[in-house]
Homo-oligomer: A and B are copies of this chain.
Amino acid sequence: MTSTLGFAVLSLLARRELTGYELAQQMKRPVGYFWHAHHSQIYPELARLESAELVRHTVIDGAGPRDTKRYTITAAGMEALRAFVASDFEPQPVRDLETLKIWSIWTVDPDAAVLLVEQLREVHRERLETYRRELAELTSGGTAEDPSHPDFGSWLTLEGGVRNRAAALEWCDWMLTQLRRPGAVTRSRAPDRR
């Protein structure tokens, strides 16, 4: 009944109360690493969740031309989130542009291919660094190892992110060795060895 966006919102509100604006900001960092949404989606979604009594709001002081609303998750909302987390995995449809590009890398010349992989490598490298920084910050708190603390979820997620990006980096390096392998540059199409 509740949409996936609804669960993303509940996941955030389960950790602490937030305004719609703050929710939209959180969708950039750190939640943005695995979930993204615009404010134009969030405000109507909050209204839907409220009519289903999964969240509740109180009006607080704020700078905007309209009332600033602070949202809290209800007991029913917490229960809905728990049920969602415990529910069976249904494979999600994937649409991965990066892999699509690599899959079609044979269509471009070797220089462009190297550039492509180097760009990809840089994206993964930067993200790996970010995750490592956040992980160090998180584990210094001491709350991460308590399985009933929100930080436990952040810990597992960040650790997964680090492992994932480290593997991706190694993959990029491996691809670069394949692209630079002697003989790889000389292509069947380019008869420049005569």
Chain B residues whose CB sits within 8 angstroms of the CB of A184 once the complex forms? 145, 147
Are A149 and B106 closer than 8 Å at their CB atoms? yes
Cβ-closest chain B residue relative to A86: B112
Chain B residues whose CB sits within 8 angstroms of the CB of A137 once the complex forms? none
Chain B residues whose CB sits within 8 angstroms of the CB of A93 once the complex forms? 36
A138 within 8 A of B: no
Are A147 and B36 closer than 8 Å at their CB atoms? no
Are A148 and B106 closer than 8 Å at their CB atoms? yes
Are B164 and A171 closer than 8 Å at their CB atoms? yes
Chain B residues whose CB sits within 8 angstroms of the CB of A102 once the complex forms? 153, 156-157, 160
Known contacts A145-B184, A163-B171, A171-B164; A156 and B105 CB within 8 A of each other: yes
- Cα(A163)–Cα(B171), bound, Å: 7
Indicate which residue in B78, B89, B100 contacts A8 across the interface (CB closer than 8 Å).
Answer: B100
Known contacts A146-B188, A189-B148; A85 and B107 CB within 8 A of each other: yes
Chain B residues whose CB sits within 8 angstroms of the CB of A8 once the complex forms? 100
Scan A152-164; emit 1 where CB is below 8 A from any B CB, else 0.
1110110110011
- Cα(A108)–Cα(B80), bound, Å: 11
The B-contacting residues of A in range 101-152, CB under 8 angstroms, are 101-108, 110, 112-113, 115-116, 119-120, 123, 145-152
Contact sample, A vs B, 29 pairs, CB 8 Å cutoff = A7-B100, A14-B104, A34-B94, A35-B95, A35-B99, A35-B100, A36-B93, A36-B95, A84-B101, A84-B104, A85-B104, A86-B108, A86-B116, A89-B123, A92-B96, A92-B97, A103-B156, A104-B153, A105-B147, A106-B150, A113-B147, A145-B178, A145-B181, A147-B187, A148-B187, A159-B171, A164-B164, A164-B168, A166-B167
